Structure 1
Amino acid sequence: MAADDIGGVDVPHPPDDADEAGGPVGAQVLHGVEGAVCRITLNRPEALNALTPAQRDRVIDLLAGASADPEVRAVVLTGTGRGFCAGADLRGGGAAGERLPGDVARTIRLGAQRLIAAVLDCEKPVVAAVNGTAAGLGAHLAFACDLVLAARSARFIEVFVRRGLVPDGGGAHLLPRLVGPQRAKELMFFGDALGAADAERIGLVNRVVADGDLAATADAWATRLAAGPTRALALTKHLVNASLDGDRAAAFAAEASAQEINMTTRDAREGVTSFVERRPPRFTGR
């Protein structure tokens, strides 16, 4: 959901004759890989990094590519300017004419939900570096990440209620799992801006850092993850993400299966060997 104002901050839009992303989508979603870390940066600071459909699809493709690329072992997701992501920019995104039953559900399923699923399903750990406002879908994009770092100036807004809308992008799935149903309802019912310190206090954020330290901290965390046992981290991510959706028997069975799969990897063998040889492990992501 995009709003013309997010918590009192005006979000300018490109002129009507601009293309949907205000320029080539590759310039609006920056991407680079260095030292086994994939960095994805939302780059529409003039719109607080509100996502157009083309940008959303670009992020999905980049996450899928990072997941499949053995040379990528961690991902950092961040934004430029004052915003991490102000949600979905739907200007010009809807077809004119009568809305038919099923149109809205299809749009949500193929749009916002597909983006959040891309983060949750990415086989590499994803670190969100929240540099500013994260509102609506933008907040859920951060919450879907495996680890969330926030600048002190960051804030999180469940903006949907301000527009008479139901949360999308998996918000009603993510928030109760992170902060419990009562806190989730408070955030979603009132739509108040939540500062970074309060977000950390209630468990939405792993750590709050000074604005000037955000990028370096995110890089340090991602570099550490990239040096870890990649397949073990992927399997652990899957186990944790699925843990609240099943009973104990299912969780134990999934854990045993993950252990079986992981023990076929070189990193698992290296971990055991390095322990026996009393030296630091040298993981390769294989």
Structure 2
Amino acid sequence: MSRQLAGLVPQHFNWRMEGTVAVITLDRPDRKNPLTFDSYAELRDTFRDMVYADDVDAVVFGSNGGNFCSGGDVHDIIGPLLDRDMKGLLEFTRMTGDLVKAMVGCGKPIIAAVDGVCVGAGAIVAMASDIRFGTPGAKTAFLFTRVGLAACDMGACAILPRIIGQGRASELLFTGRTMSAEEGERWGFFNRLVDAEALESEAVDFATKLAKGPNFGHMMTKTMLKQEWAMSIDEAIEAEAQAQAICMQTRDFKRAYDAFVAKEKPVFEGN
């Protein structure tokens, strides 16, 4: 059931391909790239489709105009939500959560390249990525309590503590304060900080290196990272034994062995 995504022409965000790396940015830099009802839904559907895309091997979710994402658009989302009943509100909150589920379940490594403002739902998108690069000017905040809501939004209370620890996550979620780039790197939210001018190119280079690796194996790694959250150690070890046995049947496993014997660098093809 494979499908082609490289030629995607989305209506509500930017998309381009760098080899087999998809580069996504939000398309409203004049407003620091807020999310809208439409962009939420289209991003959710795109990441769902990536499960079946054999022409996309990795994703960079980048910044645009010096900012990553300012969260849900105040006028296009927050205002209209005030007129919704409980059913309508739950439809929205489930849709936003479905974006995180789609990112976590897409089977492709996602690298967030964060510059400038990264707040609210934008911080969640960065959080839901597998690897995060930031700039010294990155400002990350989980702002939900600032607008009178709980901070348990889109999986934040489950995922953020696993990245930076329970105490640090609790502070950010309760207060809604901004986490500086230096804090983010020190706490493990950012894998590295790079200059703004080099941010996207470094993220794409990193994603390209992953894309040249054993992509079936990467898919399995991402799958197990997700599934093992809810497993005991014994269950996780058994699940990994099964996953690794599956990977040992791939042609990439044999390619790696043949290359080692020939004293060459393996060329993986993702099967």
Q: How far off is 1:96 after superposition?
A: 7.3
Residue 248 of structure 1: which of 233, 245, 260 is its match?
233
Deviations 1:182-227 (A, max 9, x none): 1111111111111111101001110000111101101110110110
TM-score of the superposed pair, with normalisation by structure 1: 0.85
Q: Which residue of 1 aligns with 2:85?
A: 99
Give 1:268 shift.
1.6
Partner of residue 70 from structure 1, selected from 50, 54, 58: 54
* Corresponding residue of 2:210: 225
Structure 1 residue 276 displacement after superposition: 2.5
Structure 2 residue identity aligned to 1:230: N
Contact preservation (8 Å) 1:52, 1:90: no
Contact 2:111 2:130 (C-alpha < 8 Å) held by counterparts: yes
| SS in structure 1 of the partner of residue 170 of structure 2 | helix
Q: Evaluate the alpha carbon distance shift between residue 154 and residue 92 of structure 1 in structure 2; reply closer, same or farther with a 3 A threshold.
A: closer
CA distance in 2, matches of 1:98, 1:224: 45
The separation in 2 between residues aligned to 1:84 and 1:63, in whole angstroms, is 18
1:34–1:117 distance in 2 versus 1, CA, 3 Å: same
Q: 1:30 to 1:228 in 2, by over 3 A?
A: same
CA contact (8 A) 1:127 1:218 kept: yes
Q: Does 1:272 align with 2:239?
A: no
Which amino acid in 2 is paired with 1:246? M
Matched residue, 1:12: none
- Given the alignment of the two structures, is residue 44 of structure 1 paired with residue 28 of structure 2, yes or no? yes
Question: Does the 8 Å contact 1:27/1:43 carry over to 2?
Answer: no
> 2:37 aligned with 1:53, yes or no?
yes
Select which of 102, 111, 115 maps to 1:131.
115
Identity across the alignment (%): 34
The 2-side partners of 1:32 and 1:209 are apart by 22
Call closer, same or farther: CA 1:195–1:280 in 2, change over 3 Å. Answer: same
1:187 aligns with 2:178: no
Root-mean-square deviation (Å): 1.8
| TM-score computed with the length of structure 2 as normaliser | 0.90
Cα drift, residue 27 of structure 1: 5.5
Change (3 A) 1:184 1:226: same
CA displacement at 1:229 relative to structure 2: 0.3
Structure 1 letter corresponding to 2:227:
A
Task: List runs of 5+ in structure 2 lacking aligned partners.
Answer: 1-8
Whether the 8 Å contact between 1:150 and 1:207 is mirrored in structure 2 is yes
**Take 1:96 and 1:182, find their aligned partners in 2: how far apart are those partners?**
32
In structure 2, the CA distance between the partners of 1:181 and 1:96, relative to structure 1 (3 Å rule), is closer
Shift in CA distance, 279/98, structure 1 to aligned 2, threshold 3 Å: closer
Q: Which runs of 5+ in 1 are unaligned?
A: 1-24
User: How far apart, in 2, do the equivalents of 1:26 and 1:175 lie?
Assistant: 29
